[in-house]
């Protein structure tokens, strides 16, 4: 089992924790992680882009010139795609880019992403992540103490703490999340995975 130090918010080691091999110690499946990243990004797309076809552009109801004997190519409307101010042929229309992934693949991808962080020694476990005031300086000091200053970091908490969330909001590259909101994209996108000890237990309970 991967063995990780447990730090407090001042960077002092207070204990150690053994992470579950079933969650943090599997052989990462790159295909599963890639599928989930593509799924996440596709689901973020609004799909609201829209162009006007020749039937939707105003005007063009009259045939611009007669069919024969003009020397021009025959034309039926000034709103055909080849005309300036004409409609767009085969342009985008509003659509959904969403697609679903089965639960088995989701679990495999999540465990693979967590295992990648464990293999790369980018998991930082804290005994607790709590604050009793809105203070960005306190959050910055914590990140510096645990060796995450200047890195993109995902802070995972077992429950909502608005003081922590708001204090981290002003720091570039830092994101907070709850156990039930983490996703493969964020885990891989951020360099450091900072997680509270209680959140580790919840993650293992769900994915082990």
CATH fold of the domain at 3-29+99-207 = Ribosomal Protein L4; Chain: A; (3.40.1370)
Spell out the SS3 assignment of 134-189: CCHHHHHHHHHHCCCCCCCEEEEECCCCHHHHHHHHCCCCEEEEEHHHCCHHHHHH
Q: What is the pLDDT of residues 165-204, one digit of tens each?
A: 999 998 999 999 999 999 999 999 999 999 999 999 999 9
Q: What is the pTM of this model?
A: 0.84
pLDDT, tens digit (0-9, with 9 covering 90-100), for 75-102: 999 999 999 999 999 999 999 999 999 9
Task: Spell out the domain ranges in the chain.
Answer: 3-29+99-207
Q: Are 179 and 203 in contact (CB under 8 A)?
A: yes
Residue 94 CA to residue 45 CA, distance in Å, equals: 11
């Amino acid at each position: 089992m991967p063995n990780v130090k447990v730090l407090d918010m001042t960077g002092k080691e207070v204990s150690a924790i053994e992470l579950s091999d079933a969650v943090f110690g599997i052989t990462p499946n790159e295909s599963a992680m890639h599928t989930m990243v593509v799924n996440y990004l596709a689901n973020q797309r609004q799909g609201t882009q829209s162009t006007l076809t020749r039937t939707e552009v105003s005007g063009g109801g009259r045939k611009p010139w007669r069919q024969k004997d003009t020397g021009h190519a025959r034309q039926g409307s000034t709103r055909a795609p080849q005309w300036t101010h004409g409609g767009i042929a085969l342009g985008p229309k509003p659509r959904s880019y969403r697609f679903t992934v089965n639960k088995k693949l989701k679990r495999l991808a999540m465990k693979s992403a967590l295992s990648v962080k464990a293999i790369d020694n980018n998991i930082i476990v804290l005994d607790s992540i709590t604050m009793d005031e809105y203070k960005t300086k306190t959050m910055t000091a914590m990140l510096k103490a645990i060796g995450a200053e200047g890195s993109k970091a995902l802070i995972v908490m077992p429950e909502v703490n608005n003081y922590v969330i708001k204090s981290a909001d002003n720091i570039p590259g830092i994101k907070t999340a709850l156990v039930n909101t983490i996703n493969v994209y964020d885990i891989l996108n951020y360099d450091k995975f900072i997680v509270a000890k209680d959140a580790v237990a919840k993650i293992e309970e769900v994915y082990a």
